[in-house]
Amino acid sequence: MKTLVFPLLFLGCAAYAQKADSVRVRRSAPPVLAVKWSPLHLFGYYPTFQLAVEHRIADQFSLQWDAGYVIDTGDPIDPKNGFDKKGFKAKLDVRYYIPFGGNAVFFAPEFFYNYVDFRKAGTFGVHCDDPQGGCDYFRYYTYPVRYREPGLAMKVGLFHRFGRHVCIEYHLGVAQRFIRYKAMGVPAETSYEDTYEDDPFDLVPSHRSANRLSPTTAFRVGYIFR
């Protein structure tokens, strides 16, 4: 009898360990196919409805395609703010997954491009040739602005599964941004009277072209198809 019990116990323990290992491997591997939504993108200065699709390309590697449609929430009464916003934001990252405490950590370079058109309002001086800085008169203009921003980010994130189909992820990283703004249709003989100063704690951008290194973060909730 003992000669039967011990082999059966051994086989049972081995089967349980194999099942536990397979669960750990599945939880730490990238999804074969998943769709994710980023709710925090709705609260940006250029808010977007942002969806991402991730698919596995190798055992520990995946590609994630991310695209967002710009939603106009601007106030035309505020001359500092933009309005009539339209455009898109696109991202692509290549991820490498490793196990981490029953979940998975991923490392990824990300390529992104923001393409947004909007309108802005401001007071412009006309014929400001006076050496003392005076102008013949001032005029209030509304004018279109083009915003383009390509960039590259390096990020590290945590991917967590809830059961077989629900997942969340969040990441931190640093991005090199190449920000370009261009005002369109402003008369050449005018001079913009900018009464607003840059505030590092203000979420409204300065609408000035710049190359900038800045932190990046995101949170997504998703559905895993397989």
pLDDT tens sequence across 19-71: 444 445 556 789 999 999 999 999 888 899 999 999 999 999 999 999 999 99
Give domain status of residue 11, yes or no.
Answer: no
Give domain status of residue 13, yes or no.
Answer: no
Task: Give the pLDDT of residue 191.
Answer: 67
What is the reported pTM? 0.80
Give domain status of residue 7, yes or no.
Answer: no
Give domain status of residue 9, yes or no.
Answer: no
Half-sphere exposure of 50 (CA within 13 A, CB side): 23
Phi and psi torsions of 26, nearest 5°: -65, -40
Give domain status of residue 14, yes or no.
Answer: no
Give domain status of residue 133, yes or no.
Answer: yes
In this structure, of 57-61, 99-103, 147-151, 160-164, the range with the lowest mean pLDDT score is 99-103
Q: Would you place residue 78 in the very low, low, confident or very high pLDDT band (cuts 50, 70, 90)?
A: low
Full domain range(s) for residue 151: 23-224
Do 136 and 126 touch, CB atoms closer than 8 A? yes
Give domain status of residue 215, yes or no.
Answer: yes
Q: How many domains does the chain have?
A: 1
**What CATH number does residue 27 fall under?**
2.40.160
Token duo for residue 41? 């993108």
Give domain status of residue 140, yes or no.
Answer: yes
